[in-house]
Amino acid sequence: MDRPLTVTTIGELRDRLAEHRAAGRTVGFVPTMGYLHEGHASLMRAAREHDDVVVVSVFVNPLQFGEGEDLDTYPRDLERDARVAAAEGVDLLFVPPVEEMYPEPVLTTVSVAKVSEPMEGAARPGHFDGVATVVAKLFNIVGPCRAYFGAKDFQQLAVVRRMVRDLSFPVEVVGCPTVRELDGLAMSSRNAYLTPEQREAAPVIYRALRAGAAAIAAGERDPQAVRELVAGIIEAEPLAELDYVEVVDADSLATPETLQGNLRLLAAVRFGRARLIDNVGVTV
């Protein structure tokens, strides 16, 4: 069979997967918005390693973009995506048109309280409802599977995990490490927006987060002191405009009064029209 097989309808994807399941094969699913990079490729490789059939969806989900965000300009290159998927041995590429996913106005949405609320949820109202709704829909289309998500979108991973637990989806969510450029910048489709000067400046996010993690490892227990340290490093970069920096409990995403246990430092930073997010973990 020519791989990947591109499928554009929900019905055909379900039929193809039903055949594989009838033959006893497990399904690995990598949901994406396309413009695939090495980060996505690493998720496909993880799926390829653990599952018999690998499905990748490419769908720029309008529900998760707010007013004035980059829905219309979000980078798209389906031919290249198909080549990346082919190189990783993907079996099925699910590329539904918007009308296939949302043939009528959506009246039913999924909203995950608490974990959706801080950080990205506060900066991008409605974003995680859009993510949870499309991921729920994709899970219902793909069916029982292992689903692979990158830790770069740490809060998204937490939202999806919680949704799967609360709503008993027959899905095992697998979080995979962030893939970085050689200078530390987390890979993201939105890096395509960076000018050469912004691209050179952008690794400051990871440097700053690591400095925060190092301070915690060295004994700092005050979240405000860590936030100020990380913010200071980012704000010293003239091309960077800090949106937020937080240090939270890695499971609840709540800010502890004293830093202890499994922690995550997260930041969102604008470089011109690119809004980039990143995070690192540290355990006390």
- Pick out residues in 143-172 that bind ligand PAF (CB under 6 A): 153, 156
Least Å distance between CB 221 and ligand PAF? Answer: 33
Least Å distance between CB 70 and ligand PAF? Answer: 13
Interaction of residue 212 with ligand PAF, rule CB under 6 A: no
- Pick out residues in 62-81 that bind ligand PAF (CB under 6 A): 64
Active site residue 20: no
Interaction of residue 121 with ligand PAF, rule CB under 6 A: no
Interaction of residue 61 with ligand PAF, rule CB under 6 A: yes
Interaction of residue 274 with ligand PAF, rule CB under 6 A: no
Which of these is catalytic: 20, 40, 50, 127? 40
Sheet containing 241-249: which strands, arranged edge to edge? 241-249, 262-271, 274-283
The residue among 124 and 264 lying less far from ligand PAF, judged by its C-beta, is: 124
The residue among 117 and 235 lying less far from ligand PAF, judged by its C-beta, is: 117
Interaction of residue 43 with ligand PAF, rule CB under 6 A: no
What x-and-dash track marks residues 23-42 binding ligand PAF by CB under 6 A? --------xxx---------
Least Å distance between CB 156 and ligand PAF? Answer: 6
Q: In the set 134, 201, 240, 265, which binds ligand PAF (CB under 6 A)?
A: 134
Residues 6+ positions from 50 with CB-CB distance below 8 Å: 26, 28, 146, 174
Binding site for ligand PAF (CB under 6 A): 31-33, 61, 64, 131, 134-135, 153, 156
Active site positions, annotated: 40
